[in-house]
Amino acid sequence: MTEATDTIETIDVRHVTCGLVPLMQTHLGGADPEQQALEFQVRQGIETELWNSFGTGTDWRLTEIRNDLFHDVARFERQEVSELDPLGLMDF
């Protein structure tokens, strides 16, 4: 494995209150193709909003939101998009 796949980049967006989802999507879209996971430090208490904002049909999947000291951490993992099921509906 290369170094890019071994480390998980963490992006601090705790200060963002408006336009958080588009900012996160920009970071995800611009990630190194070798990067398999990204984490975002976000303000506490927005788990529901994040789960609802990042649905299916993208190259990245929101896999967990965990509590940390004074913030939460949202982890995204890269996924392959199936040509037969581009929205990922078969997962449900």
CB 26 within 8 A of CB 4: no
- Does the pTM surpass 0.85? The reply is no
Rounded mean pLDDT of 38-53? 94
pLDDT tens readout for residues 5-31: 468 899 999 999 899 999 999 999 999
Q: How far is CA 39 from the centre of its chain?
A: 6
Q: What Å distances lie between residue 18 and 13, 23, 84, CA to CA?
A: 11, 9, 35
Backbone Cα Rg of the chain:
13
Look at the domain 3-80 and name its fold: Translation Initiation Factor IF3 (3.30.110)
User: Where do the domains of the chain lie?
Assistant: 3-80
